[in-house]
């Protein structure tokens, strides 16, 4: 089921999500809804907090348009290691029509559970590493606007208002 995506400045985007105790069929349904909502948007990442579900879950698909889909599910994700630095032009489904350059670690090592509740370890770089950091921030109530200085934040506010008036030309966002 496609769910409504909360947009900044909805206060629910500031809540800290709770760990998932058990991967139940209800949690799996939530994961499926999240994937469906992300693909419909379209976007390349979605955290549960973005649809008002306060569970530590996010989904990402960083495949290029001409590549087969690569859905990855992270339940109770923990970033164990970060290294390097990269500046990435990021978008976010909760900030429609806005993209901003944000500093992130270049590589991450993450541990999480998959949709079946099985633990996995993943080392990622490039867009996937950026998406993992962006979505983990969402689970802690941290948004991309928090990474900007005051001037850029004001400019973003203006662009957001503009994009709401004229919602065409969006590119896939996290
Ligand atoms: Ni986002």
Task: Read off the pLDDT of residues 11-56 as tens digits, 9 standing for 90 and up.
Answer: 999 999 999 999 999 999 999 999 999 999 999 999 999 999 999 9
Residue-level pLDDT at 56: 98
For residue 148, the tally of other CB atoms under 10 A from its CB is 16
- State the burial class of residue 149 (Cβ atoms within 10 Å of its Cβ: 0-12, 13-18, 19+): exposed
Number of domains comprising the chain:
1
Question: What are phi and psi for residue 73, nearest 5 degrees?
Answer: -110, 130
DSSP 8-state symbol, 30:
H
Using the mean position of ligand 1's atoms as its centre, give its distance from the Cα of residue 142 in Å. Answer: 9
Q: In angstroms, rounded to a whole number, what is the distance separating the alpha carbons of residues 39 and 46?
A: 9
Using the mean position of ligand 1's atoms as its centre, give its distance from the Cα of residue 79 in Å. Answer: 17
pLDDT 10s digits, 54-74 = 999 999 999 998 999 999 999
- State the burial class of residue 147 (Cβ atoms within 10 Å of its Cβ: 0-12, 13-18, 19+): middle
pLDDT 10s digits, 86-145 = 999 999 999 998 999 999 999 999 999 999 999 999 999 999 999 999 999 999 999 999
Six-digit token pair at 23? 């991967």
Predicted TM-score of the model (pTM): 0.93
Using the mean position of ligand 1's atoms as its centre, give its distance from the Cα of residue 140 in Å. Answer: 12
Query: 54 lies in which domain range?
Result: 11-167
Please say whether the beta carbons of 40 and 5 come within 8 A: no
Q: In angstroms, rounded to a whole number, what is the distance separating the alpha carbons of residues 103 and 130?
A: 9
- Distances in Å between the alpha carbon of 119 and those of 1, 38, 72, 112? 26, 23, 13, 6
Using the mean position of ligand 1's atoms as its centre, give its distance from the Cα of residue 91 in Å. Answer: 7
In a domain, 130, yes or no: yes
Of residues 68, 76, 58, the one with CA closest to residue 135: 58
Q: In angstroms, rounded to a whole number, what is the distance separating the alpha carbons of residues 141 and 137?
A: 6
Using the mean position of ligand 1's atoms as its centre, give its distance from the Cα of residue 138 in Å. Answer: 7
Using the mean position of ligand 1's atoms as its centre, give its distance from the Cα of residue 59 in Å. Answer: 11
In a domain, 6, yes or no: no
CATH number at residue 146: 3.90.45.10
Using the mean position of ligand 1's atoms as its centre, give its distance from the Cα of residue 152 in Å. Answer: 17
In a domain, 1, yes or no: no
In a domain, 172, yes or no: no
- Residues annotated as catalytic are 135
């Amino acid at each position: 089921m496609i769910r409504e995506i909360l947009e900044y400045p909805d206060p629910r985007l500031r809540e800290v999500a709770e760990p998932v105790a058990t991967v139940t069929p209800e949690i799996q349904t939530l994961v499926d809804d999240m994937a469906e909502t992300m693909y419909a948007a379209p976007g390349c990442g979605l955290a549960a907090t973005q649809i008002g579900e306060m569970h530590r879950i996010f989904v990402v698909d960083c495949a290029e348009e001409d590549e087969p889909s690569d859905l990855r599910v992270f339940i109770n994700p923990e970033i164990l290691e970060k290294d390097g630095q990269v500046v990435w032009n990021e978008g976010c489904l909760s900030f429609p029509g806005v993209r901003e350059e944000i500093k992130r670690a270049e590589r991450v090592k993450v541990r999480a559970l998959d949709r079946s509740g099985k633990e996995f370890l993943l080392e990622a770089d490039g867009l996937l590493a950026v998406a993992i950091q962006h979505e983990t921030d969402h689970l802690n109530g941290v948004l991309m606007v928090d990474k900007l200085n005051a001037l850029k934040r004001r400019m973003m506010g203006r662009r957001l208002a503009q994009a709401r008036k004229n919602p065409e030309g969006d590119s896939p966002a996290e």
